[in-house]
A and B are shown apart, each in its own frame.
Chain A
Amino acid sequence: MTAAPTSPDSPQTRPRTRRDWLLSDAPQTRRQARLGAIYQGWLTFRANKLAMLGLVILVLLIGMAILAPWIAPQSPYAQNLADRLQPPSAAHWLGTDALGRDILSRLIHGSRITLFIVGTVALIAPIIGLFIGTVAGFAGGWVDQVLMRITDIFLAFPKLILALAFVAALGPSIGNAVLALALTAWPPYARLARAETLTIRNADFIAAARLQGAGRLRLLIGHIWPLCVSSLIVRVALDMAGIILSAAGLGFLGLGAQPPLPEWGAMISDGRAYILDFWWVAAMPGLAIFTVSMAFNLLGDGLRDVLDPKGDKS
């Protein structure tokens, strides 16, 4: 990083611009130091063009979801059987489906559902995984054994099959699909968190904190979690695509969002019957899923550069 041009030794000289203030190598306050660190991370992230592309796509997606009722040209539920299965045209940019509903409007409204599913799963699964993994790794002994065997049981089933079983038991709906996905997505995070914890727990800095009288809970939350979280965040960002596809898969099988909700996977499922003659009905939501999955993958790659603590040493 470029150093601030002002002398870092004299606290009297105020750095000139905001950029200098942020990049100062001698911050005066905690707030300045924290903002500076965030800004440095942002600079690293910005240098990665592909990650920026992913971020832009996701910001557009979020904007689209928030503004859905205002930017969608039509209601996602408005049927017009006279206009059914129209190809993309000026009136319907992405065509219409079997009930004459505007596909673009359905995609725009569907982004809300997609974001809801992905956001909730991405919040619940890593937190369960982080908790179970770090407790198992840190406590060791029989706690470790019990927690890891439970994790193994979950890992032994294919993810989607297990999710299917959960949804079948709980009844098909979006909420249950989210729950099922979250319950099946956490074991890899738990494994990851445990592996990280095992490498950290005997480190000298943990011993040093112990020598200051730090309790187990403080060590776990204050010292071990910060080192596990960054790899988990990266892993989540890379898994987002898989979560979207799993949610779409559940929707495709009719176990996620129920019609007439414009969930992307359910839309593909609707288009399946016409896929050869009216390709756009299935292709458009497919394209949307592909774009968002790719955006999350690109973002994950960029986040890895920023968050990976091992990269700091270079």
Chain B
Amino acid sequence: MLSVSDLNVWFGQIPDRVDAVRGAGFQVAPGESFGLVGESGSGKSTVLRAIAGLIPTWSGSIRVDGADLREGRRDRAFFKTVQMVFQDPYASLHPRHSVDAVLAETLRLQGMDRIDQRIVRLLDDVGLGQSFRFRYPHQLSGGQRQRVAIARALAAEPRLLLLDEPTSALDVSVQAEILNLLADLRAEHKLTYLMVSHDLSVIGHMCDRLAVMQQGRIVEILPVADLRAGRSTAPYTAQLMAASEGYRALEAAPAP
């Protein structure tokens, strides 16, 4: 479904060029859910944005569904296959467009017919009722906004969904709702996920395999089962595990 090899992404011109991603490579099979983990600044979101075509400065090879992506503008077929859900639902919805306007425009851009029926169905799919249809983003909570953003991503009926920390800007209780919704949608629409997160437990919950990134490089790719069993080979993965374990242990420990 998606195959990335030797991907380099950089920002800026030569004297102060920053190499955000160096020689990244991984494959995602159809129907798989693949996670990218790493600390802040490790380049995991940059990989996603480069795949989506939002960063023009990259080299290497990105193949989606067998089609080689070139630098520059993506074509219509790409937008129909790949969609993205952004990290911050407060920034990813136009403040002056109602839910209805967002979905209607998206459907029109994607050349869909029967737009009214599709909007109704999309809202049902993401668990928002019809009463939300004409609301503006400022009338919605963070979780509701993220549902709208997911509905927008699903409007094109894509097969690959890029998820850029879709829950990190949300409350803990809402995080679980959104993760469950994403899991349900994947089963229902047979979607392939490429999910970025700094949270190992989210990746463990959502993904089949994951890649661990550190300072722009992929240090290890392993199945989630191996991660759980502690069969990681790279020392950095163990560090990450220990960090999240330690945090959890501290949290669980009763106050002295």
Contacts and interface: CB of A to CB of B under 8 A. Distances in A.
B138 to A, nearest CB: 4
27 contacts: A9-B131, A25-B131, A27-B134, A30-B134, A33-B134, A204-B86, A204-B87, A204-B88, A205-B91, A205-B94, A207-B52, A209-B94, A211-B79, A211-B82, A211-B83, A212-B79, A212-B105, A212-B152, A213-B79, A213-B110, A214-B109, A223-B94, A223-B97, A227-B94, A227-B96, A312-B136, A312-B138
Interface residues of A, number: 30
Q: Which 9 A-B pairs have the closest CB atoms?
A: A33-B134, A26-B131, A204-B92, A312-B138, A204-B91, A213-B79, A204-B86, A205-B94, A27-B134
A260 interface: no
Interface in B66-106: 76, 79, 82-84, 86-88, 91-98, 100, 105-106
Interface string B136-160: 1011000000000100100110000
B100 A205 contact: no
Interface of B: 52-54, 76, 79, 82-84, 86-88, 91-98, 100, 105-106, 109-110, 129-131, 133-136, 138-139, 149, 152, 155-156
* Chain A, interface SS category: helix
Interface in A276-297: none
Given A8-B131, A25-B131, A227-B95, A212 B84 contact: no
Contacts of A312: 95, 136, 138
A90 interface: no
Given A205-B91, A207-B54, A211-B52, A11 B100 contact: no
A202 to B, nearest CB: 10
Given A208-B84, A213-B109, A226 B54 contact: no
Interface in A222-257: 222-223, 226-227
Contacts of A36: 134
A205 B97 CA distance: 10
Contacts of B136: 37, 312
Contacts of A211: 52-54, 79, 82-84
Contacts of B91: 203-205
B120 to A, nearest CB: 12
A142 to B, nearest CB: 16
A16 interface: no
Contact of B106 (A8, A27, A212): A212
Contacts of A33: 98, 100, 133-134
A174 B129 CA distance: 57
A208 B92 contact: yes
Contacts of B133: 27, 33
Nearest to B83: A211
Given A204-B92, A222-B105, A226-B96, A26 B130 contact: yes
